[in-house]
Amino acid sequence: MNQKRNSLYIFCITLVATLGGLLFGYDTAVISGAEKSLEVYFIDNLGLNSFIHGATISSALIGCIIGGFISGFFASRFGRKNSLIFASVLFTLSALGSAYPEFLFFSKGEPTIALLITFNLYRIIGGIGVGLASAIVPMYIGEIAPPEIRGRLVSFNQFAIILGMLVVYFVNWMIANGESIAWINDIGWRYMFASGAIPAVLFGFLLFFVPETPRYLALRKQDGKALKILSKINGEKTAERVLEEIKQSLTDGHTAGKLLTYGKLVIIVGILLSVFQQFVGINVALYYAPRIFESMGAAKDASMLQTIVMGLVNVIFTVLAIMTVDKWGRKPLLIVGSIGMTIGMFGVAALAYANIIGIWTLVFIVVYTASFMMSWGPICWVLISEIFPNKIRGQAVAIAVAAQWAANYFISSTYPMMMEYSSSMTYGFYGLMSILSAIFVWKFVPETKGRTLEEMESIWAKKAGKNSKTA
């Protein structure tokens, strides 16, 4: 009997799945290069205000909320794999539609309110794809991966997200490099959006060659198929034991499908993990990076180069998280990251209050983003893929991810207005959220390192039992 784990097979499956993470990063960060051109093309030409500008830049997040919210239904009804194929189709439509929103119904170069709405609809379509992928990719990897390397493999999704952002920062810079501002505002931003169709098509194609997750197959009572995949991943002997654990978790006396079967605490923890990941302000740094660096005195080309440097820092520290998450555990990394983010954001706030713009602003932003990327960036997704019991995972992940995108939309869309009021107060708010995130993790988040998904289920069942006895 083959009893060895098939590491190459697991890696190949993970690599394909994480293309969804790459598209997540690509689609959400492509706006950073096009943001000022969209302001000129739509907002300035139509005489609209900063609120409409913020809403347009963040419109994809409406789709992300929708995609996150419906991900549980799609993952449970159609499977993890088919849901990701559907997401790839949405990514492709959004990339092409956002690049040329005038298609069929409008004249190029004549911005109107109707055209602005159409552009936002295409961005929302892409956002639905991002919302689906953001929930289902970690779920897919978490359900495929052996427990001793699960944290590392799920963290690869965050690496792919950051890599997607770095790639699109570089693509945006290449498109804008050496071109006139007028050309970028007329044509360049379209190329930026259209470039996303290439990885989207590749993702959809490769998904046809990966399996459905064994836990979903067991949930659908397709034990033979589940055992075959588990055997290919873990070896036959281990596969039989894992399948028995999965089946036991599905027939342990708890009622399938009831969200609060394991109590309220697990749902609240999942939601707050998601909310804190956004309320610390990371996507402000990602979406508005070129504008932030321009406000520090950098020229447009230089600001995009500084954004690439920040992207490289993000990749390096995400790799650090991948290397340590299964050694140090989830909680220590989150708490250390929160402390680093607090230092970074309060540093930026202090400099903004003193009206000091210079290299130290860049240093504190790098400290902040590096701290996030080695902790809350990947580890939040790891925990969301791990903490929920098998029976409610689809529903619970959907709620947590929808909450995350709602928090993301709130933070991103309010940033321009908050900055108009007070930049130091804005960054100070994100610093305060970083402090609260550390306290939350210390008090409420369980350590999941080395535990099977079924073991996590028993932890919440015990907590639910204790709470019901004390109620």
Query: What's the pLDDT tens digit per position in 421-454?
Result: 888 898 899 999 999 999 999 988 888 777 777 7
List, for residues 114-171, the tens digit of each pLDDT value: 999 999 999 999 999 999 998 899 889 988 888 778 888 888 887 888 888 888 888 9
List, for residues 186-238, the tens digit of each pLDDT value: 888 999 999 999 999 999 999 999 999 988 888 888 888 888 988 888 877 77
In a domain, 217, yes or no: no
Average pLDDT taken over every residue of the chain: 83
In a domain, 240, yes or no: no
The whole-model pTM stands at: 0.78
Range of the domain at 344: 7-210+252-470
Say what the pLDDT of residue 302 is.
Answer: 57
In a domain, 246, yes or no: no
In a domain, 434, yes or no: yes
* E strands, 11-156, in order: none
In a domain, 245, yes or no: no
What distance in Å separates the CA atoms of residue 211 and residue 6, rounded to the nearest whole number?
Answer: 14
Q: How many domains are contained in the chain?
A: 1
What distance in Å separates the CA atoms of residue 130 and residue 401, rounded to the nearest whole number?
Answer: 11
Residue 79 has pLDDT above 80, yes or no: yes
- Work out the pLDDT band at 97, boundaries 50, 70, 90: very high
List, for residues 26-69, the tens digit of each pLDDT value: 887 788 778 888 888 888 888 887 778 878 887 888 898 899 88
Residue 287 has pLDDT above 80, yes or no: no
In a domain, 2, yes or no: no
Stretch among 68-82, 345-359, 452-466 having the lowest mean pLDDT: 452-466
Say what the pLDDT of residue 285 is.
Answer: 67
In a domain, 460, yes or no: yes
Say what the pLDDT of residue 255 is.
Answer: 46
**Tell me, what DSSP letter sits at residue 1?**
-
7-38 helix and 59-77 helix, angle to the nearest 10 degrees = 150
Closest-CA residue to 347 (of 428, 273, 269, 272):
428
CATH code of the domain in which 392 resides: 1.20.1250.20
147-176 helix and 113-144 helix, angle to the nearest 10 degrees = 150
Residue 306 has pLDDT above 70, yes or no: no
In a domain, 233, yes or no: no
Half-sphere exposure of 314 (CA within 13 A, CB side): 29
Residue 294 has pLDDT above 70, yes or no: no
Closest-CA residue to 347 (of 330, 329, 369):
369
Supply 162's token pair: 């950051």
Supply 448's token pair: 């999941």
Longest dimension (CA), the chain: 71
Supply 370's token pair: 């590096």
What distance in Å separates the CA atoms of residue 232 and residue 412, rounded to the nearest whole number?
Answer: 43
- Work out the pLDDT band at 300, boundaries 50, 70, 90: low
